[in-house]
Amino acid sequence: MVPSPEVRPAAISKGARGDALREIVFGVNDGLISITGLVVGVASSQMTAHQVLLAGLAATTAAVVAMGLGAYLSTAAQNQYLLAERNREYQAIQSNPQEKQQQVAWHYQQQGMAPDLASQVTRYTVSDRQRWVAFLVQQEIGVSLDHLESPWTSAVLMAVAVLVGSLAPVIPFLLSTRVSSALPWSIGLAMVTAFALGAVKSRVTDGTPWRGGVQFVIVAAIAVAVGIVAGHLFHAL
């Protein structure tokens, strides 16, 4: 029986989950850090709680739309690139099938297969044109054609992630009319969210949760410090 060189569904599923996790972590972290820095900066420039709230909500809306559209465009561009590579491989196989078959055999030998086994598996691979093309594309650029993502799914996932991260520093200003009361809670909630995000990310990636949490807290603390300094500088202008 010839071993199948095709990408296993489990591997595809893991790749999809990895991409989803990356987008969620990136989105939540981007929303959390940018809006925390902005809220702290505006609050430090002696603005009222209502003004801080408006600034935070406006920035959150802009971030959600911008990051969602960015995710849509980047995913669509990636899909177009993969499909273009697929078409190029189809044309190459059409014009020079012998050379492309030798390329498949070479890839298998580079993976450690004996020449006889590589030849046997190559015959299986090239017996189906779609499988042949998919194998060559994956070897050339390291991405499976089965792993095309939906641009709309990426956009919604990113937008929701940014929204979740952005709300953490804004919520206290929805509940209090005094900057002196809302700001400490805003910073504290941002730190807790940062630690939780880092811990979850590390747990999923088999890292140390507390270390991942501390790393994200440090990044959030830098955003707070920059916001405070910027707020005082702008207030002095």
User: What digits encode the pLDDT tens for the residues 199-216?
Assistant: 988 888 778 899 999 999
pLDDT band at 17 (very low <50, low <70, confident <90, very high): low
Q: Give residue 12's pLDDT.
A: 41
pLDDT at 193 over 90: yes
Q: Give residue 92's pLDDT.
A: 86
> What percentage of residues in the chain have a pLDDT greater than 70?
91
CB atoms within 10 A of CB 209: 16
Q: Give residue 16's pLDDT.
A: 53
Degrees (nearest 5) of the Cα angle 40, 43, 48? 155
> What percentage of residues in the chain have a pLDDT greater than 90?
51
Give pLDDT tens digits for 28-63.
999 999 999 999 999 999 899 999 999 999 999 999
0.75 exceeded by the pTM? yes
pLDDT at 155 over 90: yes
- Every domain of the chain and the residues it spans: 14-236
Q: For the residues 181-208, what does the mean pLDDT come to?
A: 91
> DSSP per residue over 179-227, as a string?
HHHHHHHHHHHHHHHHHHHHHHHHHHTTS-HHHHHHHHHHHHHHHHHHH
Q: Label residues 147-176 b or e (16+ Cβ within 10 Å = b).
A: bebebeebbebbbbbbbbbbbbbbbbbeeb
Q: Give residue 183's pLDDT.
A: 95
Question: Cβ distance 156 to 71 under 8 Å?
Answer: no
The amino acid at 158 = M
Q: Give residue 54's pLDDT.
A: 96
pLDDT at 15 over 90: no
Give pLDDT tens digits for 164-174.
999 999 999 99
